[in-house]
Structure 1
Amino acid sequence: MNVELLAVFAGASIRLAAPMLLASTGELISERAGVLNMSVEGMMLTGAFLGATFSWLTGNPSIGLVCGMLGVIPLALLQAFLSITLRANQIVTGIGINILALGGTTLAYREVFGSRSNAAIPGLSRWSPPGLGDLPVIGEPVFHQVWLLYAGLAVLIATWIVMRRTSLGIALHAAGVAPRAVDQSGLSVARLRYGAVVFSGVMSAAAGCFISIGDIHTFTEGMTNGTGYLAIAAIIFGNWKIGRTALACLLFGAATAMQFQLPMLGIRVPTALLIMLPYLLALVAVAGLIGRQTAPPALTQPFRR
């Protein structure tokens, strides 16, 4: 493989990993606080639809991004209400919301766009860090990415700092490890978990917007195509640690990029196998075949005072 093709492959891997990175950043906080937000897929799809719709209506993709992120908050509050207040099964409620989001966005897409389904949707601009974008060979394909990717990296770093260096991070960790101790300290476990789920929803919506108005510049029915589930698998793959989760997202992105890069290199691999590859890696992670996984002890466990 020559350097040019390797650079294109690296750039494609980063671009395809970006939605998983955004979604997993929020989902990791939710799971650290003790709530498994299985509705990441539905929140991504809803964010993708709202972002594309308002970007098309206003002609401004930044407004579409803001509307997509804010518009998902009611869905995140619904997930939090069912999981935390009603103490319903978090997996069942999450899957139910995913089905609701798929049906709702499909119906709304047909009503809003209709025969205009092929209309061009304004997309987010690309940006490269000063100096890096001018590097020979690798500058353009690797570093010239949608600016939302770099914003997501900044949020990832800020999240790591908050979780490792602040009292809020300690409280969120404790909510997923020993919620009764958090309650006895005078903090509200429910508020911490509600905030974590809402943050997860906002980041999932940003991930959906990255797909619709950052990468593809259109919306199609069910366009997230399981990316939300891969984001959850990346957290398991990364053993609930931010750095490892980011690397897992990059691995899944590279596996997805192979679908397009291997045929360009003349390597004959069954298309179905290439499409399956990211999900096979996710299955390996979930099955625990990459080593011992240490989930937060109170994950999925409702808290009762």
Structure 2
Amino acid sequence: MSATGELLDGGVRLAIPLLLASAGELVSERAGVLNLSVEGMMLAGAFAGAVGARAGGSATAGVLCALLAAVLTAALQALLSVTLRSDQIVTGIAINALALGVTTYGARLYFTAGRSVPGFDRMPIPGLRDIPLLGRALFDLTPLGYLALALVALLAVLFSHRTGWGLAITAIGADAVTADRSGLPVAAWRWIAVLLVGATSGLAGAHLALADVHAFTDNLTGGAGYLAVVAVIAGRWRALPTVLACLFFGLAEALQFAAPALGLHLPTAVLVMSPYLLAVLAVSGLVGASRSPAALTRPFVREARSR
């Protein structure tokens, strides 16, 4: 494989968890709920996926456990931020800290005899895999990788501005009070959006543990959840730019491994920090101004209605 092909292959593989997590987060932020807890949801999914795969003896069992753990974590986020109307940023950071502590302690208890677990192997598509440059990047993935790309495309269609669901989510994120007056169940939609983030983040965590490394290590996500949130902001709360931002971050991370083959002799520290440096630039406004949904991070309080 050429050096460029290796970079693209690694970039897409590393971008898949970001694509999954940011797909759900995009829907949630458009509904007005910011989930900094994506990192915690991914970490819970990765740990539960590894435990489930080892206990059940299959990667599929691991995925189901990852979904359950991440959705339960998302339910805690929804309870705090939607029902109890707590500060979304504070609750997100608290959940991340809780997930890191629980999974670190759990890993040291459960994986004392080794951290390797059953996982997914690559499943190349004959013919398409041999397409120059992009063949291996797009058509030599694991089954979970193909599922991830299909799910991201499905969510982009279901919650586009051309569908009823997409219009409802956009209306709630723009003005929750007006949306409530028009008959939209704001709290219910926000609960659904946050639980969707949990499901996609759980799959993202499962991909990290079961498709990438077939193991679980402390803090396996390594900030990927935060990058997923940044990708939504850098993508200006639109589907295609968010996908491109995820791919950009994935390529930046893959450059750490492909740089020598490309003839780039940069300090290792620069390569390691490059995705996060690019993330800072993306949200700083240097890549273009953006306007977030007006109701983002604002708790919804139903106005009293006269009879």
Report TM bin, short chain: over 0.9
CA contact (8 A) 1:8 1:142 kept: no
Aligned 1:1-305 pairs, distance under 5 A: 4-114=2-112, 116-118=113-115, 120-135=116-131, 139-140=135-136, 143-164=139-160, 165-305=162-302
CA contact (8 A) 1:7 1:142 kept: no
Measure, in 1, the Cα distance between the counterparts of 2:262 and 2:71: 43
C-alpha deviations, 1:181-209, integer Å up to 9, x for none? 22112221000000000000110111011
- Stretch deviating more after TM superposition (104-113 or 132-141): 132-141
TM-score normalized by the length of structure 1 = 0.95
Measure, in 1, the Cα distance between the counterparts of 2:280 and 2:163: 34
Q: How far is 1:66 from its partner?
A: 1.3
TM-score normalized by the length of structure 2 = 0.94
How many correspondences in the alignment?
301
Counterpart secondary structure, 1:72:
helix
The amino acid of 1:27's aligned partner reads E
The amino acid of 1:239's aligned partner reads R
The amino acid of 1:58's aligned partner reads G
Counterpart secondary structure, 2:2:
helix
The amino acid of 1:256's aligned partner reads E
Measure, in 1, the Cα distance between the counterparts of 2:270 and 2:95: 29
Measure, in 1, the Cα distance between the counterparts of 2:8 and 2:26: 25
Q: How far is 1:261 from its partner?
A: 0.8
Measure, in 1, the Cα distance between the counterparts of 2:235 and 2:137: 27
- Stretch deviating more after TM superposition (135-144 or 61-70): 135-144
Measure, in 1, the Cα distance between the counterparts of 2:235 and 2:100: 28
In the alignment, structure 2 segments of 5+ residues that lack a partner are 303-307
Measure, in 2, the Cα distance between the counterparts of 1:186 and 1:89: 25
Measure, in 1, the Cα distance between the counterparts of 2:279 and 2:253: 12
Over 3 Å counting, the alpha-carbon distance change for 1:6 and 1:47 in structure 2 is same
Q: How far is 1:137 from its partner?
A: 6.8
C-alpha deviations, 1:132-169, integer Å up to 9, x for none? 12446764455211222221221122112212232122
Over 3 Å counting, the alpha-carbon distance change for 1:272 and 1:161 in structure 2 is same
Q: How far is 1:265 from its partner?
A: 3.7
Q: Note the aligned Cα RMSD (angstroms).
A: 1.5
The amino acid of 2:254's aligned partner reads A
Counterpart secondary structure, 1:133:
helix
The amino acid of 1:250's aligned partner reads L
Measure, in 1, the Cα distance between the counterparts of 2:165 and 2:185: 12
Measure, in 2, the Cα distance between the counterparts of 1:161 and 1:212: 28
**Percent identity for Structure 1 against Structure 2:** 48
